[in-house]
Amino acid sequence: MTTHPATRAELQRADGARLALYVDGPDDPDLVIVLSHGWQAAASLWDEHVRQLPRPRTRIVRYDQRGHGNSTSGRALPSIPLLADDLNAVITATAPGRLPVLVVGHSMGGMAALSFAAQFPHLIGDKVTSALLVATTGGDLDLTAAHHPPLTRLVGLSRHAMAAVAIHAPRPAARIRELVRPRPYAQPPIDIAGRWFKALMSHDVAQRLDALSRIPVHILVGDSDQTIPPVHALRLAAQIPTAQLHVIAGGGHRIPTQHPAEFLAALEQACDDALRPASRWPSRRIRLSRKVHTPPGRQHEATVSEPRPGPRPKAVR
């Protein structure tokens, strides 16, 4: 568990955005973990995980995505490539020299991590030595796309309509969100959330992820995720030769908060991989996780992982 109090900092971006950073850990770390949260969340999502992670020599960096938490939006239009640029800036500012970096991204934060790999492939393996992708996708989230069946496209159209209401009628939309989607952390203004929804729908880096084959990649997904269905994780696992797929039985989309034990178990494995020479990387496998009883003080180990031998998963389309 970290014993160093968090340091609050701000990172100025070229378009005027100010990113709020929260840094825990020693001045001479062995590893830097950068935690990238999802849509309508905030860096406080990771607070309990930082307290429970038993790595006193590791620097842990949380930050509020632009337009979320204590970070401002800036002048640039919302896009996932913009978040990838921000992630690169955070890594540059907090992991100087040859310090290795583990990038962890949940949902939209995972999309930022994937876009980072597509935009800065030379940093994968050289700077970023492992990744943990949680409930995320390489693209194809827009249900209005022509290849979807009519009923699915209708659902997609309704989501776009709700985003339009959020952007153009933010007051009633905000009241509705407070009733149906309460969260224990501050959420961004509803009109900003609507604009970021549009950015999520246009995200597509599925054919630009070759650089990730140079590092261990852990993919964590709940088999009951209705926000980003598990098929997206299966596609990523099939595409990335070095991927390990962890499936949480009964897990939904909010894995870090609803399944913290499974998340921390995968995070510890990813930390170990980030510091391990390439010749000692674990073999590709699928892990099925279920909750089990654990003694007090060891909740982060409440995961049983069962290796499944056999060929790599086939992409489901």
> What is the CB neighbour count within 10 angstroms for residue 48?
13
Look at residue 60 and tell me whether its pLDDT is greater than 50.
yes
Look at residue 110 and tell me whether its pLDDT is greater than 80.
yes
Look at residue 104 and tell me whether its pLDDT is greater than 80.
yes
Say which residue, 189 or 13, is predicted with more confidence. 13
Q: What is the distance in angstroms between the CA of the first residue and the CA of the last residue of the chain?
A: 41
> What is the CB neighbour count within 10 angstroms for residue 154?
12
Q: Give the DSSP H or E segment for 202.
A: helix 190-202
Least confident of 85-89, 98-102, 167-171, 266-270: 167-171
**8 A C-beta contact, residue 51 and residue 3:** no
In sign, the C-alpha dihedral spanning 11, 211, 141, 41 is negative
Please give the pLDDT value at position 64. Answer: 97
Least confident of 14-18, 20-24, 155-159: 155-159
- Does the pTM surpass 0.75? The reply is yes
Mean pLDDT of the 218-229 span: 96
* Percent of the chain's residues with pLDDT above 90: 66
- Rounded to the nearest 10 degrees, what angle do helices 190-202 and 80-94 cross at? 100
- Average pLDDT of the chain? 85
DSSP state letter for 6: P
Instruction: Please name which of 63, 69, 309, 17 lies closest in space to residue 189, comparing C-alpha atoms.
Output: 69
Decide: residue 118, CB within 10 A, 0-12 exposed, 13-18 middle, 19+ buried.
Answer: buried
DSSP state letter for 124: B
Please give the pLDDT value at position 288. Answer: 58
pLDDT digits (tens, 9 = 90+) for 275-299: 987 656 665 555 555 443 333 333 3
The count of residues in the chain is: 317
Residue 63 pairs with which residues in a beta bridge? 21, 36
**8 A C-beta contact, residue 56 and residue 3:** yes
Identify the residue whose tokens are 């960096």. 61
Please give the pLDDT value at position 8. Answer: 92
Mean pLDDT of the 206-216 span: 96
pLDDT digits (tens, 9 = 90+) for 157-203: 777 777 777 776 667 666 666 666 666 666 778 888 888 889 999 99
Burial 220-229 (b: 16+ CB within 10 A, else e): bbbeebeebb
